[in-house]
Chains A and B, each alone.
Chain A
Amino acid sequence: MKNEITLQTRREFLRRTVLGSSLAWTVPAFLANTFTALQAESADSAIQTPTGRDATILVVLQMAGGNDGLNTVVPYANDFYHQARPRIGQKAEDVLKLNGEIGLHGAMKGFKALYDNGQLSIVQGVGYPNPNRSHFRSTEIWQTASDSDQVEKYGWVGRYFDNACPGADPAVGVVIGSTLPESFFAAKPKGIVFNNPQNYRFMANGAATEESYKKLNELELSSPLPEDNSGGSIAMLPAGMPMTGGRAVDFITRTALDAQHSSEEVRAIAARVQNQAEYPPSQLGGSLKMVAKLIAGGLPTRVYYVSQGGYDTHTNQLGAQQRLLGDLAESVKAFTDDLKAQGNLGRVLVMTFSEFGRRVSENANGGTDHGAAAPMFIIGNQVKAGLLGRYPSLAPADLFQGDIKYNVDFRSVYAAVLENWLKTKSAPILGKQFIPVPVV
């Protein structure tokens, strides 16, 4: 079936289509050569993805730096724990007890409330085989969902977009920050990135300048966008990686178009929507506050990405982690309150991750060194609440080089989120079939 296209100019086309409809965003990039194909693709309802206006939404929350899981979900009744951590161990009377053995760090009252409401699922002992203790490598493993001895070019969220969201609006992914996380790297990159909606725009001294800017940035591509768009990026430089085709300027042209249109949409929502909860005045609080607005404003987003840094607590961990976990719990609690007031809590799921946990034994500086497995938090109205999986053994004989061993592969959690929440097959995205952990 071939659709007749009556299209004078791309510019006119852009003006006529409704912003945010699946075609308005994607067609310009492909127009010159693949318009017809895309039209057909989009008309095929079998692969049309629901948008964030009505579908489920995932919020990925990165705890960067390697959060100390043992002092977050605390095995307060475990003697090995206290022996390994005479100075920084959390005492039984200070933790927020979940049962006779496990408690949350005392600063996480917001999470305790979610737990008591049946809105918090804690997956214990999450990691992967042959753990890597390098920040960037382990982050990369989590972001790309690769085996630890393999380097993947694309991120797991990016592969979700490639596999399950063809022809989707670029705002199918939104990153609050300034750079694109590796999990969003994709063969056909999607996703908009910004940190401050006020500044997320072209600043023009006059209407004529703005008009000219728009015309200059709505242009045909010199060549079709290549399937593989990693040209010039040197993520790991494995020997013999092939030269990739395509012009860099085409990628930028598409990004420019995405920027132009998403900027208008984002600022309109930011100005229109009011938050309905009080957030902490932190960076994470601000990011989640923005995400809540965008959800209320009906952006067609499936995956949001926010991050909180500072978890690399080699020295004087107690105060730093207290502040970070308190901020995390308060921010996420405010976010869920806000979504509840909006009536959107039922279709939003928050998932946290950190590149690794930390060594069981504290170090000489009142901190902890890079470790391995750690818990993940899944938050939402439809989670399977409670503690999932087993707490890894802390008995010295059970440790590997001073680290606890993982019980749950993080990709089993990703698989659950992909299959049971985003409603797509996980194997094509994760490279193989992982058995989903029943978090949702």
Chain B
Amino acid sequence: MLKPLASDRWNYAAAAHLLNRAGFGGPPADIAQLAVLGPDQAVSFLLDYEKIPDLTPNPDWARPNPDEVRQYRESIQKAATPEEKKKLQQAEQQTIQLRMQQLRGWWLQRMARGPRPLQEKLVLFWHGHFATSFEKVRNPYYMWRQNELFRRLAAGNWQELLTAAGQDPAMLVWLDQAQSKKDHPNENFAREVMELFALGEGHYTEHDITEAARALTGWSLDPSTQKFISRPRFHDDGVKTILGRTGNFNGDDFIRIIVAQPQAGRFITAKLWNYFAGQIPSPDLNEALAAEFRAHGNNFKPFLRAMFRSEEFYAPEIIRNQVKSPVQWLVGSVRLLECELPPTLVSYGMLRQLGQDLFAPPNVKGWDGGITWITTNTLLSRYNDAQALVEGTLPPLTAGDFARKEGGAGGVKAMKALSRVRMGGVDVGKILSPEQRTDKVTIVAALENRLYQTTLNPEQEQTLREFLAAKTKMSDADIVTTIRLMMSTPEYQVT
């Protein structure tokens, strides 16, 4: 089991660490508020988020739309000429793309502005874990619905979440379970449950996969309702042997067997630890995490509470030693700079360029994360996107990146749309009080506290002071450029 953090080790730095990891960070006032609460209440403030109302309205199209899908299909089939057909197909694709863009913006706003940062951070974890891509699912409603599922069960029970994820329409399409029938069981979902979602390689055999795929036959998708359906006709009701247990198992039985494996607790807690603490746990720590999870009935909420309260979570090798994911970088910057999230088109372009395309993870393994976020290219992009963010200008790559993705015509359209985009930028009045603005030393110190919650090394501080000293007025623009420079450092890329 984990050791609780001694109360006397709770301070501003610990509170900052908690907010950075169990949320997306925030301005000094938010950290100070957590610091005052003390560790139990601080963790509770973030984790017992259902006590905080979240009134974010759903996108207006976020409901089943089987009739719409059917109408599109029928009118495309009935099209009199190839030109007409193409036109109808394009119209449908435009609707889909528009909704995906709204969905990205909707989620990013929840992360950047919403009242429940830990819930959204968990949704991002589950999205990366169950790594389902719109590129195959092609249905914005399904993608939204899955996102909502992750939100609803974000800190819930593992068996319930894994079952719900398997019966989720987007997942049924993504891993082909919807097409799996007794005569031709599709092994995709069964395989990924064992390899990527719940156990990890080396903890099952190919035979387990074949048998599990048989158990899962019958889990399907009803296009007329766009909901999960259990189809007895597709189900193989013979006897199967999965991980040493034999019986006439169905999909629910399979998930129950999986979650009951001791390895299941080790696997998911190691992945959560890596996500929140930024390290792969040692075998001893992993056992402690798994024991904690087991003791709490495979429920994530009490497990997370123990984790965020633990001494291990505040160890020196954990603090400020995690590479920010692109989403953490963008959303975190918006939160701590108290500025607006750039328009979705721009945010989307930035995240794509930085390697984290929401709703389109690179494969079913999700994002590798860690230092793989950082290449010479993505690092320079972060530095340049920082300029766009603080100055309220367009980042250099968005238009071109978007053009490549959408093809020539879409690119031109995107360019036009971008030329009308207005971004907020940083309001220096919110960032620095009049007292903090008095001289270059206090400015740099205040900005360090806000951006890193620690200090840079003396040479870097000297560089920043010299930069400001050369500006006689130290205008808002000069301070904005200073902030950009401070974001253009290796130190800003970690949290």
Contacts and interface: CB of A to CB of B under 8 A. Distances in A.
Interface of A: 134-136, 151, 170, 175, 177-180, 185, 189, 192-196, 199-203, 205-206, 208-209, 212-213, 215-217, 219-220, 229-245, 247-249, 251-253, 255-256, 258-259, 262-263, 283
A257 to B, nearest CB: 9
B175 to A, nearest CB: 11
Nearest to A202: B383
Interface in B456-492: 457, 459-460, 463-464, 466-467, 470, 481, 484-486, 488-491
A248 B492 CA distance: 11
A134 B481 CA distance: 47
B267 interface: yes
Nearest to A242: B282
B379 A232 contact: no
B390 to A, nearest CB: 11
B368 A252 contact: no
Contacts of B278: 231-232, 248
B379 A252 contact: yes
A24 B201 CA distance: 42
Contact of A217 (B353, B355, B488): B488
Contact of B200 (A209, A213, A231, A238): A238
A217 B489 contact: yes
Contact of B488 (A213, A236, A262): A213
30 contacts: A170-B376, A178-B355, A179-B372, A185-B372, A193-B378, A195-B377, A199-B380, A201-B380, A202-B380, A216-B460, A216-B463, A216-B489, A219-B457, A219-B459, A220-B457, A231-B371, A232-B278, A233-B370, A234-B274, A237-B271, A238-B200, A239-B263, A240-B283, A243-B282, A247-B321, A248-B278, A249-B320, A249-B321, A256-B490, A259-B377
A239 B494 CA distance: 25
Given A199-B380, A248-B371, 10 more contacts: A195-B377, A209-B484, A231-B371, A232-B322, A233-B371, A239-B203, A239-B283, A251-B374, A252-B494, A255-B490
Interface in B378-412: 378-381, 383-384, 387, 396-397, 400, 404
B365 interface: yes
B231 to A, nearest CB: 20
- 7 shortest interchain CB distances as A-B pairs: A233-B370, A232-B370, A259-B376, A193-B375, A252-B490, A136-B363, A215-B463
B426 interface: no
Nearest to A250: B490
Interface bin, chain B: 35 or more
Given A180-B372, A180-B375, A239-B267, A213 B383 contact: yes
Given A239-B266, A252-B493, A232 B374 contact: no
B53 interface: no
A217, A234, A237: most-surrounded residue (chain B CB, <10 A):
A234
B369 interface: yes
A233 B91 CA distance: 41
Interface string B336-363: 0000000000000000010100000011
Interface string B405-432: 0000000000000000000000000000
A205 B383 contact: no
Nearest to A220: B457
DSSP class of B's interface residues: helix, strand, loop or mixed? helix
B321 A248 contact: yes
Contacts of B285: 243
Contacts of A192: 375-377
B241 to A, nearest CB: 21
A170 B278 CA distance: 26
A193, A215, A232, A255: most-surrounded residue (chain B CB, <10 A):
A232
Nearest to B202: A238
B396 A199 contact: yes
A146 to B, nearest CB: 12
B200 A217 contact: no
Given A235-B368, A255-B379, A249 B270 contact: no
Given A178-B353, A237-B274, A232 B279 contact: yes
B380 A237 contact: no
Nearest to A222: B457
A135 B188 CA distance: 12
B460 A249 contact: no
Interface string B278-302: 1111110110000000000000000
DSSP class of A's interface residues: helix, strand, loop or mixed? loop
A197 B55 CA distance: 45
Given A179-B372, A203-B387, A215 B202 contact: no
B154 to A, nearest CB: 19
A196 B464 CA distance: 30
B375 to A, nearest CB: 4
A178 B371 contact: no
B365 A136 contact: yes
A256 B378 CA distance: 10
B445 interface: no
Nearest to B274: A234
Contacts of A151: 201
B280 A237 contact: yes
A130 to B, nearest CB: 10
B137 interface: no
A151, A170, A201, A203: most-surrounded residue (chain B CB, <10 A):
A203
B323 interface: yes
A248 to B, nearest CB: 5
A139 to B, nearest CB: 8
A242 B317 CA distance: 14
A241 B280 CA distance: 7
Given A216-B463, A230-B371, A178 B488 contact: no
B375 A205 contact: no
A259 B493 CA distance: 15
B263 to A, nearest CB: 7
Given A195-B377, A237-B280, A239-B266, A212 B463 contact: yes
Nearest to B280: A241
A206 B484 CA distance: 13
B374 A255 contact: yes
Contacts of B282: 242-243
B280 A202 contact: no
Contacts of B266: 239
